[in-house]
C-alpha cells in the first residue's frame, strides 16, 4: 500500500481498535469486524488512486445528499434526503445533513472555499452503515458513519468528527499530490484534520480560544461508571495524552513535545500519535493570541490562527516535517498584516514550547521505515 495514500484509517485508528479488542474480549468480534470493513472499503476506494469524484449535475454548489445504508454494507444505500428537502423522521440523517451544511458554510464564509475541492463538490453522506460499526470516514466521495456499538463507542455522528474527516479532503485538494501518510507528514495530515474539526466546531459555537475545549471527538465514548477512569475524547489538542485512561481502551499516549516523540513503524509511523505535537502548538497559538489581548471572540482568536494555518497548508509540500510546517506557519502570519509581528512572536513561541525549530528544509529523520507490523504495543491503564 502506497505511503502516498491520503487516509488509510477511519476516525478511530486501526491500531486503537486492535488494542481495544485485546482488552474487551466480549467486544473483540465487533471491533475487528469494524477494522476489517474499513480496510476493505479502502482497498476498493477510488480515493486510493487520487481519482476525483463529482456528483454529476449537482456539484456546483456543494449540495448535500444523505443516504441510509440501513445497517447493511452496500453503499451508498437509499437516498433519503437531498439539498433543500425538509427534515425526515430519522434524527441521524438530519444531524448529518446539518453537519455537512455547517462544514460547507464554514469553508465558504471563513475561507471563501466552495466545498471540499473548492469547486462545489457535492457533500454526500451515508448513515447507519453496517451493524455496530465502530468508525466514521471520508473516502473521497462519501462521508460514512457507523452507529457505534453503544458499549464502547456512543456515536460517530458528531460535527467535530465530520469536519475532521472531510478536512482530509481539503488537504488533498489544497496540496497538489496530497500529503504522504507516513511519519511526520502523516502526523501533519492528521493534525490539519484535527485543526479543521476544532475550527469548524468552535466557529459554529462562536467560542473564543479560552472558551473552547480543543477536544477531538468529544462525545465519542460511552461513559464509564468507574470514577477513576478518564473518557474525555479521542484526543486532546491542548493537553495531548490526557484524552482517555480506561481499562476498556488503554491510556492516551499522545506526546505534546518533541522530547516524547514516539519512534514507531506502527500506525503508519505514528500518524495518530505524534500529531499531538503540532496539535499542541496550534492550541498554544490560539491561547497565546487571546492571552496577548489581540482578541476575545472566535474571529479574533481561533479565527486568526485558522487563517495562518489555512494559508500555510498549500505550501507544505508532499513530505513536510514538523520543522517545515512551523516555518510555513511563521511565513503565513503575513496574512494578518496589522498584527504580523506580534503573531510571529506567538507562533514562534508555541513551536519552541513543543520543541520544534522552524526550518524550510529540515526533513523527518525520526520515523523508521515500514516494518509490516501495524500493531501498537498495549500498556496497562495507569
pLDDT attached to residue 41: 73
At 250 the three-state DSSP class reads: strand
| 7 has pLDDT over 50 | no
| 53 has pLDDT over 60 | no
Say whether 272 is catalytic.
Answer: yes
Which residues are CB-contacts of 27 (< 8 A; sequence separation ≥ 6)? 20, 21, 149, 151, 152
Whether residue 201 is found in the same domain as residue 155: no
| 98 in any annotated domain | yes
pLDDT attached to residue 112: 97
Segments forming the whole domain that contains residue 44: 14-174
pLDDT band at 376 (very low <50, low <70, confident <90, very high): very low
- What does DSSP assign to residue 66? E
pLDDT attached to residue 315: 98
| 1 has pLDDT over 50 | no
| 55 has pLDDT over 50 | no
| 349 in any annotated domain | yes
Whether residue 250 is found in the same domain as residue 346: yes
DSSP states of 90-134: -HHHHHHHHHHHHHHHHHHHHH---STTSS---EEEEES-SSS--
Condensed to tens digits (0 to 9), the pLDDT of residues 219-251 reads 999 999 999 999 999 999 999 999 999 999 999
| 362 in any annotated domain | no
Whether residue 92 is found in the same domain as residue 124: yes
Closest CA to 347 of 361, 327, 362, 364: 327
**What is the mean predicted confidence (pLDDT) over 58-86?**
92
Residue predicted with more confidence, 232 or 38: 232
183-205 vs 91-111: helix axis angle to the nearest 10? 100
Q: How far apart are the first and last CA of the chain?
A: 35
pLDDT attached to residue 56: 40
pLDDT band at 323 (very low <50, low <70, confident <90, very high): very high
Q: How many domains does the chain have?
A: 2
Say whether 290 is catalytic.
Answer: no
Condensed to tens digits (0 to 9), the pLDDT of residues 247-306 reads 999 999 999 999 999 999 888 999 999 999 999 999 999 999 999 999 999 999 999 999
Query: Which residue in the list 99, 100, 272, 280 is annotated as catalytic?
Result: 272
Whether residue 123 is found in the same domain as residue 253: no
Condensed to tens digits (0 to 9), the pLDDT of residues 81-138 reads 999 999 999 999 999 999 999 999 999 999 999 999 999 999 999 999 999 999 999 9
Whether residue 120 is found in the same domain as residue 192: no
Q: Locate cell 516494518: which residue?
A: 371
pLDDT band at 38 (very low <50, low <70, confident <90, very high): confident
**What is the mean predicted confidence (pLDDT) over 151-178?**
96
Query: Which residue in the list 165, 172, 180, 290 is annotated as catalytic?
Result: 165
**What is the mean predicted confidence (pLDDT) over 33-45?**
77
| 368 in any annotated domain | no
| 9 in any annotated domain | no
**What is the mean predicted confidence (pLDDT) over 147-169?**
97
- What does pTM read for this prediction? 0.93
Distance CA 52, CA 91 (A): 30
pLDDT attached to residue 371: 60
What is the residue-averaged pLDDT of the chain?
91
pLDDT band at 29 (very low <50, low <70, confident <90, very high): very high
| 358 in any annotated domain | no
Whether residue 103 is found in the same domain as residue 206: no
CATH number at residue 227: 1.10.390.10
Angle (CA) 368-372-373 rounded to 5° is 85
| 237 in any annotated domain | yes
CATH number at residue 130: 3.10.170.10
Amino acid at each position: 500500500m502506497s505511503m502516498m495514500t491520503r487516509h488509510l484509517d477511519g476516525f478511530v485508528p486501526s491500531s486503537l481498535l486492535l488494542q481495544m479488542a485485546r482488552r474487551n474480549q466480549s467486544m473483540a468480534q465487533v471491533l475487528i469486524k469494524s477494522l476489517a470493513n474499513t480496510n476493505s472499503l479502502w482497498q476498493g476506494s477510488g480515493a486510493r488512486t487520487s481519482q476525483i469524484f463529482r456528483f454529476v449535475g449537482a456539484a456546483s454548489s456543494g449540495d448535500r445528499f444523505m443516504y441510509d445504508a440501513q445497517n447493511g454494507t452496500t453503499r451508498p444505500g437509499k437516498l433519503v434526503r437531498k439539498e433543500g428537502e425538509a427534515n425526515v423522521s430519522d434524527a441521524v440523517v438530519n444531524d448529518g445533513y446539518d453537519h455537512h451544511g455547517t462544514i460547507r458554510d464554514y469553508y465558504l464564509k471563513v475561507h471563501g472555499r466552495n466545498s471540499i475541492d473548492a469547486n462545489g463538490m457535492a457533500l454526500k453522506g451515508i448513515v447507519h452503515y453496517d451493524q455496530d460499526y465502530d468508525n466514521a470516514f471520508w473516502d473521497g466521495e462519501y462521508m460514512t458513519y457507523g452507529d457505534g456499538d453503544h458499549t464502547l463507542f456512543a456515536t460517530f455522528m458528531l460535527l467535530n468528527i465530520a469536519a475532521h474527516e472531510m478536512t482530509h479532503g481539503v488537504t488533498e485538494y489544497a496540496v497538489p499530490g496530497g500529503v504522504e501518510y507516513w511519519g511526520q507528514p502523516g502526523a501533519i495530515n492528521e493534525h490539519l484534520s484535527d485543526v479543521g474539526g476544532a475550527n469548524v466546531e468552535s466557529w459554529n459555537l462562536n467560542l473564543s480560544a479560552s472558551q473552547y475545549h480543543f477536544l477531538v471527538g468529544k462525545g465519542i465514548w460511552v461513559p464509564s461508571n468507574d470514577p477513576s477512569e478518564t473518557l474525555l475524547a479521542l484526543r486532546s489538542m491542548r493537553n495531548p495524552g490526557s484524552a482517555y485512561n480506561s481499562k476498556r481502551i488503554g491510556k492516551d499516549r499522545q506526546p505534546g513535545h518533541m522530547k516524547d516523540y514516539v519512534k514507531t513503524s506502527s500506525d503508519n509511523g505514528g500518524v495518530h500519535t505524534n500529531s499531538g505535537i503540532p496539535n499542541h502548538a496550534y492550541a498554544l497559538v490560539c491561547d497565546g493570541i487571546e492571552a496577548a489581548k489581540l482578541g476575545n471572540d472566535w474571529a479574533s482568536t481561533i479565527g486568526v490562527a485558522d487563517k495562518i494555518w489555512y494559508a500555510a497548508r498549500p505550501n507544505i509540500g508532499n513530505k513536510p516535517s514538523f520543522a517545515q510546517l512551523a516555518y510555513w506557519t511563521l511565513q503565513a502570519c503575513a496574512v494578518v498584516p496589522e498584527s504580523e509581528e506580534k503573531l510571529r512572536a506567538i507562533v514562534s513561541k508555541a513551536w519552541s514550547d513543543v520543541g520544534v525549530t522552524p526550518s524550510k528544509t529540515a526533513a523527518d529523520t525520526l520515523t523508521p521505515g515500514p516494518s509490516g507490523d501495524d500493531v501498537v504495543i498495549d500498556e496497562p491503564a495507569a
